[in-house]
Every structure is written in C-alpha cells, then in structure tokens.
C-alpha cells in the first residue's frame, strides 16, 4: 500500500505540473511575460490583463482612462504621435487607480507620452486606490507568487482563456482594439434614452466647492506624476459626456461642482511644460447629438474616439490658463441650456426614476 501511495504522490506532482506549464507558457493574462512569438496580444478583460500588460509588454506610451477610453485603437495614437502604446483602463477611471497604473508602467519603462482620459466624474471621488475594494483579482496585482495558485489552478483559464487567446491569435484580431466593446453596441437615441433614469425633481444647485477636497487631492495625484516625469509628454483630455449626463448633473445639483473641478484641473495641470490639455466636455456637435453618438449617458461610439484623436493631433479643443475661463463659461451655458431647453424635445420619451 505504501508503494501505491508513493506512486500516487508522484502522479499528483506530475498532474499538478501540467496546469502550471500550460498557464505559465500561454499566460493569457500576461502575468509572467509578454505574448509568445507568433501569438497576438489578446486583451479583453481589463481587470485581469492591464497589470500584466504594463509589467511585461514593450511600449513607450500609455493610454490611460475609463471605459470611454477602451474604444481607442492604439494604432491611431501610434501612427499620429510616433509611439508604441498600450492601454491602462480602469472602470470609472478612478484617478488613484490610473495613477497607480502609471507608476507601475514607469517601474520598467521610459514613457515618451501618456494619453490621459480625465473623466469629470472621477475628480469628485475619494483619491483612494480601489482595486481591492472593487474585487479585482489581487493575485495578479501583487508580487506574491504563492497566491498565483488562483491563476494557475483555474479551469476558466485552462479551458476558456487559453483557447480564446489561441483562437484570436490565429484570426484577424486587431491588437490595437484592446478592450474594445464598441463594435457590439448600438449608439442611437433609443439605446441611450433607455439607460437614463431621470430624477423626477430637481435638487437645488449645491455649493460648487463641496467636492473641492477630493478634487484637489485627485489633481495632486496627477500632478505628482506629471512633475516627476518631465521627460514624458502628457496629453490630458476630458471626454464628451452626453447631454443626458449634463441633464442628470443639473437635476442632482452638481453642475457647478463639475465646472469648478474642471476649471481647477486645467488651471493646475496645464501650467506644466510637459502637459497639453484638451477639453471635449463642451463639444456641442458631439454632446448634443444623442440620436447617433451614445449608448447611454456617457459612453460614445468609437467614431467619436477617432474624432477626438484627430482633433487633438491638429491641436484643436486645447485649453490652458489663458482660455479656460472663457471655455468654462461656454460649457456652463451649454450645461444650463440642456435642462432648460435642449432636452425638451426628448422629455416625452425620457424614463423617470424614483426619488
């Protein structure tokens, strides 16, 4: 019996080694290395793959942002700005999370450029890293090899992620479209209206400064990175959220708070020589066109992503300390015009939520 147990132990060790080999070699989350030669970088699960990408890929530029930045094709930036970029995406674009990604990227890479999608909504949240609290797989985020068992001995990875990566590698998969979700979505009035639950009543406008503390702290986080890396050129831009988002901000009494935080961000960040700031928040052509551009209150179509890259490459929509007050005033006009006038034609089809 002892002999049988010894054989069983050997078999156990051999069988345990098979998943280790499969996962370490193919490594669909790029936790150990960049894609093997001949295989493509198949990136579609940001919580699982961004960290590995930042640690092991060859790149000199990072596209950082929230879900609205997922539909950029890396090649647009690469061709226009002459860089090799990867994406660092975090749901909701929490500033502390994105800055943590950038710190990680700087550990082993010299970055020529950072394209930073700055969501206005991310400025008001607490400047805390949210990976753990939001349930990210921390075994991929830390350096503890012991908890890698969750990655290595994981049948999702073995039966699903590895075959998917291999299948995509041998298809016409475009590596530049990492994390892209736009191709499966519809961007039209029906879609975006169905995702907006309008407050039945309007909250009186809150004190514009009520999220100053969080906003200042978030901007400081970005500033710290910008100032620590003068060799990197930072292209910071705010995305064009739809008029429905601005209507909601108005009804929650937050319009002035957002305007103030945007004003802060531009005034502080654009003073750095290595920063250029572009503001699409008030781009009326995009923001007001909910017939064609949006799938909900803020997620726009990939065509808008392309449009933004093109305009930035031409230096359009740029703001700085000289023109920001004027731009914020224009944005304010639009932000109030929306609930008071521009949304009226849609009021009959809007869905009203509960108080």
Partner 1 sequence: MSFNSYIFLFCFLPLCLLGWYGLNKYGKYNMALGFLTLMSLWFYGYFNPSYLLIMVASVSVNYFLSFLMDRSEKFNKVFMVTGALFNLGLLFYYKYYDFFIENVNAVFKTDYNLKHILLPLGISFFTFQQFSFIIERGRKKIPHCGPAEYAAFVTFFPQLVAGPIVLYEEMIPQFRDKARRSFNADNMYNGIGYFVMGLAKKVLLADVLAIPVNYGFDNSIYMDAVGTVLVMTAYTLQLYFDFSGYSDMAIGLGLMFNLELPVNFKSPYKSSTLKELWERWHMTLTRFLRNYVYIPLGGNRKGKARKLFNIFAVFVVSGIWHGASWNYIIWGILTGIIVIWNNLNIFGYDKNASNPAKIVLPEFIGRIITPITFAFLLIPFRSPDIATIWVLLRNLTKGWTGNAYKIANVIKLPEMYIIEEILQKVAPSYTNMFALGVFILLCALGIFICSRKNTAQIVNAYREKRWFMPVCVLLLVYCIISFSQVSTFIYFNF
The token pair that represents 272 in the structure block: 């750095």
- Does 21 interact with partner 1 (rule: CB under 8 A)? no
The residue to which tokens 């969750």 are assigned? 150
Contact 306, 76 (CB under 8 A): yes
Nearer to partner 1, 154 or 281 (CB): 154
- Does 170 interact with partner 1 (rule: CB under 8 A)? no
Count residues near partner 1 (CB under 8 A): 24
Say how far apart CA 195 and CA 215 lie, in whole Å.
Answer: 27
Residue from 132, 156, 326, 347 touching partner 1 (CB under 8 A): that is 156
Binding to partner 1 in span 285-304, by CB under 8 A: none
The per-residue DSSP string of 130-146 comes to -TTTTT--GGGTSS-SG
- Does 138 interact with partner 1 (rule: CB under 8 A)? no
Q: Are strands 318-319 and 233-238 parallel, antiparallel or unpaired?
A: unpaired
- Does 183 interact with partner 1 (rule: CB under 8 A)? no
- Does 20 interact with partner 1 (rule: CB under 8 A)? no
Residue from 53, 73, 100, 154 touching partner 1 (CB under 8 A): that is 154
Work out how close the CB of 168 gets to partner 1 at its nearest, in angstroms, rounded to a whole number.
11
- Does 322 interact with partner 1 (rule: CB under 8 A)? no
The per-residue DSSP string of 206-227 comes to PPTTTTHHHHHHHHHHHHHHHH
- Does 197 interact with partner 1 (rule: CB under 8 A)? no
Cα separation values, 95 from 1, 104, 168, 174, 202, Å: 60, 14, 32, 28, 29
- Does 8 interact with partner 1 (rule: CB under 8 A)? yes
* Binding site residues, partner 1, CB under 8 A: 1-2, 4-5, 7-8, 11-12, 15-16, 18-19, 149-150, 153-156, 158-160, 163-164, 167
């Amino acid at each position: 019996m002892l002999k049988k147990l010894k054989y069983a132990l050997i078999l156990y060790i051999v069988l345990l080694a098979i998943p280790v080999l499969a996962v370490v070699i193919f490594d669909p989350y790029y936790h150990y290395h960049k894609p093997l030669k001949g295989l493509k970088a198949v990136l579609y699960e940001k919580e699982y793959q961004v960290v590995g990408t930042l640690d092991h890929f060859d790149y000199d530029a990072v596209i950082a942002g929230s879900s609205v930045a997922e539909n950029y094709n890396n090649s647009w930036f690469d061709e226009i700005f002459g860089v090799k970029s990867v994406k660092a995406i975090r749901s909701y674009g929490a500033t502390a999370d994105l800055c943590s990604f950038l710190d990680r990227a700087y550990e082993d890479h010299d970055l020529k450029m950072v394209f930073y999608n700055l969501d206005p909504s991310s400025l008001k949240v607490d400047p805390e890293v949210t990976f753990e609290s939001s349930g990210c797989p921390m075994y991929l985020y830390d350096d503890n090899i012991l908890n890698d068992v969750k990655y290595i001995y994981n049948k999702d990875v073995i039966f699903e992620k590895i075959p998917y990566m291999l299948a995509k590698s041998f298809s016409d998969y475009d590596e530049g479209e990492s994390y892209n979700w736009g191709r499966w979505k519809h961007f039209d009035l029906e879609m975006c209206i169905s995702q907006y639950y309008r407050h039945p009543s309007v909250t009186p406008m809150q004190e514009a400064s009520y999220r100053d503390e969080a906003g200042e702290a978030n901007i400081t986080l970005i500033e710290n990175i910008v100032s620590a890396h003068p060799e990197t050129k930072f292209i910071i831009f705010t995305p064009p959220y739809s008029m429905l988002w601005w209507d909601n901000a108005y009804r929650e009494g937050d319009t002035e708070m957002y305007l103030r935080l945007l004003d802060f961000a531009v005034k502080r960040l654009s003073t750095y020589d290595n920063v250029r700031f572009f503001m699409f928040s008030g781009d009326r052509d995009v923001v007001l066109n909910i017939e064609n551009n949006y799938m909900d209150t803020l997620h726009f179509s990939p065509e808008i992503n392309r449009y933004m890259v093109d305009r930035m490459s031409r230096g359009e929509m740029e703001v700085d300390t000289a023109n920001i007050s004027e731009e914020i005033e224009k944005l304010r006009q639009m932000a109030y015009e929306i609930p008071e006038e521009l949304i009226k034609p849609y009021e009959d089809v809007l869905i009203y939520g509960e108080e």
